[in-house]
């Protein structure tokens, strides 16, 4: 029997997950919860799913799992509610902007023996998976230094920035998770430099738009993260891992794989410009991994603890900016 | 209302089209016809479609269109049968290996005012579409010389070769169609060189495995086609168009977009190895274009005449090999 | 003692060779012959060499070898004169536009036991040498199909075209030589298609500016050559060799190895635009190989026979255009 | 009249400069000073220059300029000596490992009105110059974030490490100079992380082999530097500059510009493996710029102050490692 899924929230990311669920064999989109009637109707028409209230979903016996795509400040409450209701839970990052609240929530999930997966889509990108596989197969020896480059095509709206918890919790958090995934060792020191270079309004909101971070581990491995809220040429998403016997790089993805030569030179199209087109396969793989782990009774591929650790690094990075010092996570 | 489709034949290419239909909004896979019960059952389970006899489908009022994926020698008869039954028809290339039979069939379709699309999937590949768009937007000026490289990872089974009509009708036919699409002018001269280099058994069957073709048009445009039945590094599919003010190239697609550097050098993965993974988007786009043309009442994107012209070029190439001369199509 | 060299002719190619000789340890540029006083003076100043008459050089006891860079119609006479004078001879291609004259000349050189190298610079390009080495090391198995792409940035002046012997003898001749070098087998069949696409004036002179050639060998190997007299993006010089277990490609060289990304996409500079910048290392390596062969008493790296064979292929290609048939060399 | 040059020291870097001087029109290598007779003789034979004692060179009226390629601890004394002797001075970096000694030395040069160029070869690399030109032409808008990657193929001998002043003064110093060159603004904050990952012996010597540095400027521009003493795939030298309207990248240089495809994938050769082959053009351009500036009486292209500033950043980076804090230069 397929896993019967409900999606809470049909905003941008909710729609991404609806499309992902529809494409995954073994998963069935039974219901969505969405307060905006027009959007809800569109989802019903497109996916043939029910539209139900959140409470109703929690009580539904024909729902095995939920995907939480509501605003961040509702995540922790919903995780607890649906864990209590005996549903498996997939929650978009972050669980909460407050570390204490996250720890509380995870303790409850653990106590209840619930299944919780936190959405870090990049781990499921086919190119990044191939890069990870190359490392695991020993193609580059021991991992020594990692370079992560993540640049958005353009900043989000300012009201999003205001509610985002800041660039480290909102954007760099993905890189913190990728760093932990690839370093294979916990981070012991975080230094971050942060500037406002693309839009002064972002600075007025107390946030930054351009950051570089250096993470180090106990054994001396290092990872640098470069983030910018603006990249004219598209959604820049690269990983380079330098090891003792080689390096492996995941390159960017262009709108098309063509090249034009003329008297000005050689020209390739810009990068895929949006996380939904860039990571369409990643989102589908992510849900497939969730479904498969539940079906096989294996551990969640990305856990609440992963969400917690990435958030801790974000908090530590912010403290580093404030103090001008490298900080230990938890310091 | 969506276009209600039946697929005739659930072999390799039939399954490709089933997947494509499932992914296209506005299309509904109502039924499939397939003599092998096991395969038929699998399709029914996977796509929730009916399994019906071919005659039954022709008589079904809940079927608007058929996709013909049966063996080549049945294509022309089925096109005629379903045209008479008032169904729109999508038929895999070629319509028939015999030019006269093709002409007959097309005449009947025309007389009946039927809708017939012939499957040339490459025209619908996103990269090749981007290349064509660049040409149409004037990015390279006038098209002057085209270089098409199509190499299979490995030869098909010998019994397939024996029934295939030969490399020009089976493999080069795709390049002939691409050449016509990009030249924007009919071909007036065909020269072909053909060798048996990869497997002597192919020669024993009267066929070739390695060919080069030069096409020229009345205005002097030239197109070369390079085909091989074996490429160790994957499914090699490239187009280069040289124009008066520039060139445009569609590059190959690798298994993953990563690169490993070690003491032996820099290494990228092989190419996508199979037409179903390489052209998955092309097949979906192709069916979407069929569905859209029927919905909007516009001309079929690739027509029976396109199928006929490509087959004519294949025949002309074979004659050129036999005579050692450049031949005119129809000569 | 270094090889004492005189260069006959200080035109464009003579200056290329002067620069090459100056850069090669073991070679000394003793004298140049050049009728234009201004150019001659400039050479004397730049290289500290003597300026002497051709007859004087033939009689000079302090000259071991000459490099012939005079107009084509003087080549054969000068080869004979300097062979008789006991000098080693390096002559720019072609020896003569007339095959009979070439055969005569080579017979005299052979009878006299003279050392004659014919200039085919591409065999000495570092990238092409690396490609050849990869083939010789068995990296791609048996050579099966070769694709040569040679496009000039812009046509030469019309008066040059008029004296050039036509595109096959002037431009394609380099590709014919590369084909023979890489095929490792003599060509048994030549088909050529030729058009006037870039400048009608070239057609008025009885020549072509856009050609495709297919060469085949006795064992069925094939080589295609694509030539154009105009490429907006620079001097396009590529080789691709497809073998039984792999392929090897020599890519183009850009003005600089940088890439700019902006909202229009990713941009690399045009190709090196001129044979003197593109092949600067090749010209130096070529003279170094000449000097080394003389020093070690080994066979000339490229011989008069190589010059003859390439010219034969040029002639055969022209006959193929005239007859529309594949022709045998010598037919 | 050409600039008459003497080179002090004929070790590895002295020989690089001898070759550079020989290739630069307008420069003449008159003499070299070298204590090892065998090496001195080889230089005399190869370049036809005199071998003289250092004192003799200082007193020679036929020497206009010297290139100092002796051990680091002699640089400052020699700069002063030859400045007093009225010679223009080109000195390899660093002027001294001690900042105070450098300041003293520069004060004397300034007081004497001497010409002093400090060797930062990377500014003269053709690709890096093209990158800088793209920035200066406004191709990427305002510079915002720079990523410098410099990795050596293998660590130098341990006795070199012991005398080197440490990785920041010996290796990163080049990146510090490139950073200043490209940022167009002085650095106000330096954070560095440093590990011993490639060879524990380097740690025993009190040095590091793997470092990441973040530089920031008053306006918030950031530059990261990634250095490793070991890269299996060759001499890794890359620059990426991210600006407000685009990015520009200088790619690596491979041993040859070829690519082999086989069943394991696509393979390019390793990088040029040695600074002398990677930067051969840079060294020639550097000397040419020195010669030209003296000939035209313009400012030295890279000054003693550039040497001082880069060394200051190296010192600041080391302090940052020791304190775990971002440091101000001069703090």
Contact B250 A260 (CB under 8 A): no
Q: How far is C231 from chain A (nearest CA, A)?
A: 8
Contact A258 B251 (CB under 8 A): yes
Q: Does C196 touch chain B (CB under 8 A)?
A: yes
List of chain A residues whose C-beta atoms are within 8 Å of the C-beta of residue D214: 191, 193, 212, 214, 224
List of chain C residues whose C-beta atoms are within 8 Å of the C-beta of residue D259: 248-249, 251
Is D216 in contact with D180 (CB distance < 8 Å)?
A: no
Residue A161 vs residues A110, A171, A177, A202, D59: alpha-carbon distances, Å: 32, 10, 21, 7, 69
What is the per-residue burial (b if ≥16 Cβ within 10 Å, else e) of B60-79? Answer: beebbbbbbbbebeebbebb
Q: Which of C140, C249, C258 sits opposite D134 (nearest CB)?
A: C258
What is the per-residue burial (b if ≥16 Cβ within 10 Å, else e) of B84-100? Answer: ebebbbbbbbbbbbbbe
Q: Is residue C94 reached through a cis peptide bond, with omega within 30 degrees of 0 on the bond before it?
A: yes
Of D223, C19, B249, whose CA–CA distance to A269 is shortest? B249
> Residue C216 half-sphere exposure, CB side, CA atoms within 13 Å?
22
Chain B residue with the nearest C-alpha to that of D272:
B265
Chain centroid to Cα A329, Å, comes to 20
- Secondary structure class of D78 (helix, strand, coil): helix
Instruction: Give tens-digit pLDDT for B56-112.
Output: 999 999 999 999 999 999 999 999 999 999 999 999 989 999 999 999 999 999 999
Q: Which two tokens stand for residue C218?
A: 């006795």
User: What pLDDT, on the 0 to 100 scale, is given for residue A277?
Assistant: 85
User: What pLDDT, on the 0 to 100 scale, is given for residue B275?
Assistant: 78
The span from the CA of B39 to the CA of B45, in Å, is 10
Give domain limits for chain A. 3-114, 123-273+310-323
List of chain B residues whose C-beta atoms are within 8 Å of the C-beta of residue A259: 248-249, 251
Neighbours, chain C (3 or more CB pairs < 8 A): A, B, D
The DSSP 8-state label assigned to residue D157 in this structure reads P
Q: Does C147 touch chain B (CB under 8 A)?
A: yes
Of D254, D9, D291, whose CA–CA distance to D124 is shortest? D291
List of chain C residues whose C-beta atoms are within 8 Å of the C-beta of residue D252: 257
Is C215 in contact with C195 (CB distance < 8 Å)?
A: no
Q: Which two tokens stand for residue B175?
A: 């390049």
Of C82, C105, C131, whose CA–CA distance to C251 is shortest? C131
Of C15, C2, C11, C21, whose CA–CA distance to C286 is shortest? C21
Residue A39: in which H helix or E strand, if any?
A: helix A37-47
Q: Does A51 touch chain D (CB under 8 A)?
A: no
Q: Which residue has the tokens 């990049």?
A: A122
pLDDT category at A24 given cuts 50, 70, 90 is confident
Q: Which of C140, C252, C261 sits opposite D247 (nearest CB)?
A: C261
Taking each helix axis from N to C end, the angle separating A72-84 and A99-112, rounded to the nearest 10 degrees, works out to 10
Q: Does B261 touch chain A (CB under 8 A)?
A: yes
Which is it for the CA torsion B127, B130, B136, B138, positive or negative? negative
Among C149, C154, C266, C268, pick the best mutation site for testing chain A contact (most A Cβ within 10 A). C266
Q: Does D258 touch chain C (CB under 8 A)?
A: yes
The DSSP 8-state label assigned to residue B254 in this structure reads B
Is A179 in contact with A146 (CB distance < 8 Å)?
A: yes
List of chain D residues whose C-beta atoms are within 8 Å of the C-beta of residue A195: 144, 216, 220-222
Chain B residue with the nearest C-alpha to that of D273:
B263
**β-pairing verdict for B187-195 and B246-250:** unpaired
List of chain A residues whose C-beta atoms are within 8 Å of the C-beta of residue D325: 324-326
Burial class (CB in 10 A: 0-12, 13-18, 19+), A158: middle
Of C64, C68, C69, C87, whose CA–CA distance to C4 is shortest? C64
The span from the CA of D170 to the CA of D155, in Å, is 12
Instruction: Give tens-digit pLDDT for D190-247.
Output: 999 999 999 999 999 999 999 999 999 999 999 999 999 999 999 999 999 999 999 9
Burial class (CB in 10 A: 0-12, 13-18, 19+), A126: middle
pLDDT category at D37 given cuts 50, 70, 90 is very high
Q: How far is D102 from chain B (nearest CA, A)?
A: 40
The span from the CA of A183 to the CA of A49, in Å, is 41
pLDDT category at B150 given cuts 50, 70, 90 is very high
Q: How far is C175 from chain B (nearest CA, A)?
A: 17
Contact D139 C250 (CB under 8 A): no
Of D16, D32, D93, D14, whose CA–CA distance to D279 is shortest? D16
Tens of pLDDT along chain C (331 residues)? 789 999 999 999 999 999 899 888 889 999 999 999 999 999 998 888 999 999 999 999 999 999 999 999 999 999 999 999 999 999 998 999 999 999 999 999 999 999 999 999 999 999 999 999 999 999 999 999 999 999 999 999 999 999 999 999 999 999 999 999 999 999 999 999 999 999 999 999 999 999 999 999 999 999 999 999 999 999 999 999 999 999 999 999 999 999 999 999 999 999 998 877 899 999 999 999 999 999 999 999 999 999 999 999 999 999 999 999 999 998 7
What is the per-residue burial (b if ≥16 Cβ within 10 Å, else e) of D121-159? Answer: bbbbbbbbbbbbebbeeebbeebbbbbbbbbbbebeeee
Of B323, B306, B314, B328, whose CA–CA distance to B90 is shortest? B306
Report the DSSP beta bridge partners of residue D23.
none
Helices then strands, each counted (H, E), chain D: 13, 14
Residue B129 vs residues A135, B176, B246, B281, B282: alpha-carbon distances, Å: 36, 16, 18, 11, 10
User: What pLDDT, on the 0 to 100 scale, is given for residue D30?
Assistant: 96
User: What pLDDT, on the 0 to 100 scale, is given for residue D48?
Assistant: 85
Q: Does B45 touch chain A (CB under 8 A)?
A: no
- What backbone phi and psi angles, to 5 degrees, belong to A85? -75, 0
Q: What is the mean pLDDT of chain A?
A: 96
Residue B331 or residue B212, greater confidence? B212
Is B243 in contact with B141 (CB distance < 8 Å)?
A: yes
The span from the CA of A177 to the CA of A150, in Å, is 13
List of chain B residues whose C-beta atoms are within 8 Å of the C-beta of residue A282: none
pLDDT at B25 over 90: no
List of chain A residues whose C-beta atoms are within 8 Å of the C-beta of residue D230: 244
Task: Give D123-273+310-323's CATH code, choosing from 3.40.47.10, 3.30.360.10, 3.40.920.10, 1.10.1060.10.
Answer: 3.30.360.10
pLDDT at B1 over 80: no
Q: Which two tokens stand for residue C251?
A: 């890519």
User: What pLDDT, on the 0 to 100 scale, is given for residue B38?
Assistant: 95
The span from the CA of A4 to the CA of A62, in Å, is 7
pLDDT category at D259 given cuts 50, 70, 90 is very high
Of B152, B90, B128, whose CA–CA distance to B307 is shortest? B90
Contact C260 D140 (CB under 8 A): yes
Chain D residue with the nearest C-alpha to that of C242:
D261
Q: Work out how many CB contacts closer than 8 A connect C with D.
A: 82
List of chain C residues whose C-beta atoms are within 8 Å of the C-beta of residue B241: none
Instruction: Give tens-digit pLDDT for D160-185.
Output: 999 999 999 999 999 999 999 999 99
Taking each helix axis from N to C end, the angle separating C99-112 and C304-323, rounded to the nearest 10 degrees, works out to 170
For residue D71, count other CB atoms closer than 10 A to its CB: 10
Q: How far is C149 from chain A (nearest CA, A)?
A: 15
Residue A171 vs residues A151, A229, A254, D149: alpha-carbon distances, Å: 9, 9, 21, 24
Chain A residue with the nearest C-alpha to that of C273:
A263
- Secondary structure class of C132 (helix, strand, coil): helix
Is A5 in contact with A66 (CB distance < 8 Å)?
A: yes
Q: How far is C251 from chain D (nearest CA, A)?
A: 6
Is D83 in contact with D116 (CB distance < 8 Å)?
A: yes
Q: Could you check whether B3-114 and B123-278+310-323 share the same CATH topology?
A: no
Helices (H), chain B: 12-23, 37-47, 54-59, 72-84, 99-112, 126-136, 158-163, 167, 173-183, 200-204, 275-278, 280-296, 304-323
Q: How far is D233 from chain A (nearest CA, A)?
A: 7
Is domain B123-278+310-323 given the CATH code 3.30.360.10 in the classification?
A: yes
The backbone region for D56, taken as left when phi is positive above 0, alpha when psi lies in -120 to 50, beta otherwise, is: alpha
User: What pLDDT, on the 0 to 100 scale, is given for residue C26?
Assistant: 87
Report the DSSP beta bridge partners of residue D224.
D147, D214
Q: Does B130 touch chain A (CB under 8 A)?
A: yes
Q: How far is A110 from chain C (nearest CA, A)?
A: 47
pLDDT at A15 over 90: yes
- Secondary structure class of D50 (helix, strand, coil): strand
Q: How far is D38 from chain A (nearest CA, A)?
A: 38
Q: Domain C123-281+310-323, what fold?
A: Dihydrodipicolinate Reductase; domain 2 (3.30.360)
pLDDT category at D26 given cuts 50, 70, 90 is confident
Q: How far is D262 from chain C (nearest CA, A)?
A: 4
Q: How far is C152 from chain A (nearest CA, A)?
A: 13
- Secondary structure class of B143 (helix, strand, coil): strand
Burial class (CB in 10 A: 0-12, 13-18, 19+), C216: buried
Q: Does C264 touch chain A (CB under 8 A)?
A: yes
Q: Which residue has the tokens 């051969």?
A: D280
Q: Does B81 touch chain C (CB under 8 A)?
A: no
List of chain C residues whose C-beta atoms are within 8 Å of the C-beta of residue A254: 265-266
Q: Which residue has the tokens 């030249």?
A: B183
Q: Which of A231, A261, A268 sits opposite C265 (nearest CB)?
A: A268
Q: Is residue D94 reached through a cis peptide bond, with omega within 30 degrees of 0 on the bond before it?
A: yes
Contact B265 D268 (CB under 8 A): yes
Q: Which of residues 211-250 of A touch C (CB under 8 A)?
A: 231-233
Q: Which residue has the tokens 């054969």?
A: C76
Q: Which two tokens stand for residue C51?
A: 């300026």
Contact D260 C127 (CB under 8 A): no
User: What pLDDT, on the 0 to 100 scale, is given for residue B78?
Assistant: 98
Residue C104 vs residues C35, C83, C85, C100, C163: alpha-carbon distances, Å: 28, 13, 18, 6, 22
Q: Does D100 touch chain B (CB under 8 A)?
A: no
Q: Which of D195, D196, D222 sits opposite A212 (nearest CB)?
A: D222
Q: Domain C3-114, what fold?
A: Rossmann fold (3.40.50)
Instruction: Give tens-digit pLDDT for D227-240.
Output: 999 999 999 999 99
Helices (H), chain C: 12-23, 37-47, 54-59, 72-84, 99-112, 126-136, 158-163, 167, 173-183, 200-204, 275-278, 280-296, 304-323
Contact B214 C210 (CB under 8 A): no
Q: How far apart are the first and last CA of chain D?
A: 47
List of chain A residues whose C-beta atoms are within 8 Å of the C-beta of residue B127: 256-258
């Amino acid at each position: 029997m397929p896993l019967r899924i409900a999606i809470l929230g049909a905003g941008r990311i909710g729609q991404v997950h609806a499309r992902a669920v529809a494409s995954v064999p073994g998963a069935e989109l039974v219901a969505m919860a969405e307060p905006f009637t027009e959007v809800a109707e569109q989802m019903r028409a497109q996916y043939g799913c029910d539209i139900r209230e959140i409470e109703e979903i929690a009580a539904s016996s024909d729902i095995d799992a939920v995907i939480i795509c509501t605003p961040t400040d509702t995540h922790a409450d919903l995780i607890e509610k649906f864990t209590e209701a005996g549903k498996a839970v997939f929650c978009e990052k972050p669980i909460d902007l407050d570390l204490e609240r996250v720890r509380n929530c995870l303790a409850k999930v653990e106590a209840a023996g619930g299944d919780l997966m936190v959405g870090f889509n990049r781990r499921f990108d086919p190119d990044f998976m191939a890069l990870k596989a190359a490392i695991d197969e020993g193609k580059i020896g021991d991992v020594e230094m990692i370079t992560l480059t993540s640049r958005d095509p353009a900043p989000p709206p300012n009201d999003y920035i205001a509610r985002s918890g800041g660039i480290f919790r909102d954007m760099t958090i993905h890189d913190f998770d990728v760093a932990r995934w690839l370093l294979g060792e916990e981070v012991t020191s975080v230094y971050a430099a942060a500037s406002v270079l693309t839009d002064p309004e972002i600075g007025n909101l107390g946030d930054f738009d351009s950051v570089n971070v250096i993470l180090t581990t106990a054994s001396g491995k290092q990872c640098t993260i470069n983030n910018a809220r603006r990249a004219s040429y598209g959604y820049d998403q690269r990983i380079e891992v330098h090891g003792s016997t080689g390096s492996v790089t995941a390159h960017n993805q262009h709108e098309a794989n063509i090249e034009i030569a003329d008297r000005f030179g050689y020209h390739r199209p810009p990068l895929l410009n949006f996380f939904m087109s860039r990571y369409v396969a990643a989102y589908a793989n992510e849900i497939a991994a969730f479904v498969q782990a539940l079906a096989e009774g294996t551990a969640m591929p990305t856990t609440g603890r992963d969400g917690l650790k990435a958030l801790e690094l974000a908090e530590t990075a912010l403290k580093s900016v404030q103090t001008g010092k490298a900080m230990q996570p938890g310091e």
